Amino acid sequence: MLSRRHLLGASAAVGAAAVSRVALAALPEPVLQTSPDTQPPLQPPDGRPYNPVVTLNGWTLPWRMNNGVKEFHLVAEPVVREMTPGFKAHLWGYNGQSPGPTIEVVEGDRVRIFVTNRLPESTSVHWHGQRLPNGMDGVTGLTQPAIPPGKTFVYEFVARRPGTFMYHPHADEMVQMAMGMMGLWITHPKGRHPLIAEVDRDFCFLLNAYDIEPGSATPKVMTMLDFNLWTWNSRIFPGISPLVVRHNDRVRIRVGNLTMTNHPMHLHGHEFTVTGTDGGPVPRSARWPEVTTDVAVGQMRQIEFLADEEGDWAFHCHKSHHTMNAMGHDVPTMIGVDHSGVARQITRLIPDYMVMGERGMEDMTEMEMPLPDNTAAMMTGTGPFGAVGMGGMFSVVKVRRGQRPGDYRDPGWFTHPPGTVAHEFGGTPMPAAQAPASSGPAAMPAAGQPAQPVEVQVRKPAGGGHAH
């Protein structure tokens, strides 16, 4: 499945186009990845052994050993990232993808990273969370000169402490981060570590956000907060792979946040503990059970749980707008608005007009209407029971009894044991419960009431008929 060796030849040719062959001669061939699919873990061919991670909709960068030093070659370059089938973005990334490949090393490894700049402007790489010589920290101007376009710089340091880290530029930072320049860095412990558990499945991804005008492809780099695409590893649901695990696997998920806001990550069906941050493993005494953990801006969290409940379990950011794809931020709420007559009037002027939002926005998951080119639908995921009214930062943890170790292929939808799916109630409805008269507002009467009582009517769906 992994076709990196295939890619070696092709990528060398690409490399020669921008950077001189002489300059590249001594470097490890840059390896490119063009598929946005989740690649199987890269089992370490040499060096110290470790249990590799799976990068959600991503891959791990191969290295070469050179006199005991692990040599990697990162190429910063413009890329086209498929964010979800039918929608591709023009981003900047590394080695063919945004985010770039995950770099996996082992505690104590000496690491040499060649960084070739094929961007139109200078860049640098900051190794977020690493202990390293100050001159390798990658802050342009402060600790190093910028890497000009067409040049290759080298970073070299020892991966001193195990944990979950990331890399990203600190040169024209706002633009380069908004364009998708980032990647994960995992340092595995050298041996058994008292605070780092051995796990069966180890997933990792970065939270990132983009503002791409529907119908266009390049992120608006000036956007500060009003992003419209909330992504994991620059993918949006339904373009995100499921996290496939075997029943009773111990699972670790490492999440880094490079967006401009925090993301409460919520897992269904299980409790987890936060076992580490980019500061290192969390002492056992400081861990507590959670079903949601907030990953603040610039932070990394690694959560661990025992996948002991079979099923298809949702895993998502709990900010509800973050589980949506591109949508208007100024669209009025149409719920409950009677469109009779008006709809016909509008259709006379705009023949293809259709009423939407009158009953909420779930219509959006079912209506198949043409969108601007290269636009992800607001929510289009479909499950075994119909449309999933979600998009963006959303995926499914699939816990299966029959899943083989090391097999990450999608097992399909969960087969529910009989009688375990919610269904329509067929009996006599229970009488509504009554609250005691003394409770509620009577306990503390409000002052300064409006002169006239405000009339607010609740509109409930009446019958089945829906006229417009």
Interface with other proteins by CB under 8 A: which residues?
Answer: 214-215, 326-328, 330-339, 341-342, 345-346, 348-350, 352-354, 356-357, 361, 364, 367, 369-372, 375, 377-378, 456-457, 459
Hey, what are 132's tokens?
Answer: 């390293």
What's the per-residue H, E or C state across 336-354?
Answer: CCCCCCHHHHHHHHCCCCC
Name the CA dihedral angle for 369, 223, 258, 392, rounded to a multiple of 10 degrees. Answer: -10
With respect to other proteins, which residue has the nearer C-beta, 87 or 94?
A: 87
Question: Which amino acid type is present at position 299?
Answer: Q
Q: How far is the CB of 325 from other proteins (least distance, A)?
A: 9
Which residues, in sequence order, are CB contacts of 156 under 8 Å at separation 6+?
Answer: 69, 110, 111, 112, 113, 136
Q: How far is the CB of 455 from other proteins (least distance, A)?
A: 9
Q: How far is the CB of 450 from other proteins (least distance, A)?
A: 15
Hey, what are 225's tokens?
Answer: 């907060």
List strands edge to edge, sheet with 103-106: 103-106, 183-188, 163-168, 126-128
Which residues, in sequence order, are CB contacts of 120 under 8 Å at separation 6+?
Answer: 78, 149
With respect to other proteins, which residue has the nearer C-beta, 276 or 391?
A: 391
Q: How far is the CB of 62 from other proteins (least distance, A)?
A: 40
> Which stretches of 308-450 are assigned E, i.e. beta strand?
311-317, 382-383, 386-387, 394-400
Distance (Å, whole) CA 38 – CA 56? 5
Which residues, in sequence order, are CB contacts of 255 under 8 Å at separation 6+?
Answer: 204, 205, 206, 207, 263, 265, 295, 300, 301, 302, 303
With respect to other proteins, which residue has the nearer C-beta, 142 or 331?
A: 331
With respect to other proteins, which residue has the nearer C-beta, 353 or 413?
A: 353
Query: Residue 435: helix, strand or coil by DSSP?
Result: coil
With respect to other proteins, which residue has the nearer C-beta, 286 or 335?
A: 335
Start-to-end CA distance of the chain, whole Å, equals 52
With respect to other proteins, which residue has the nearer C-beta, 439 or 457?
A: 457
Q: How far is the CB of 342 from other proteins (least distance, A)?
A: 5
CA distances 412 to 241, 243, 383, 385, 402, Å, are 12, 12, 10, 13, 12
With respect to other proteins, which residue has the nearer C-beta, 239 or 281?
A: 239
Q: What is the maximum span of the chain, computed from C-alpha positions, in angstroms? A: 86
229-232 and 126-128 as β-strands: parallel, antiparallel, unpaired? unpaired
Q: How far is the CB of 83 from other proteins (least distance, A)?
A: 15
Q: How far is the CB of 456 from other proteins (least distance, A)?
A: 6
Q: How far is the CB of 333 from other proteins (least distance, A)?
A: 5
Closest-CA residue to 336 (of 463, 454, 465, 461): 461
With respect to other proteins, which residue has the nearer C-beta, 376 or 399?
A: 376
What is the torsional sign of CA 317, 319, 323, 326? negative
With respect to other proteins, which residue has the nearer C-beta, 180 or 214?
A: 214
Q: How far is the CB of 216 from other proteins (least distance, A)?
A: 11
Q: How far is the CB of 467 from other proteins (least distance, A)?
A: 14
With respect to other proteins, which residue has the nearer C-beta, 296 or 335?
A: 335
Q: How far is the CB of 211 from other proteins (least distance, A)?
A: 13
With respect to other proteins, which residue has the nearer C-beta, 405 or 450?
A: 450
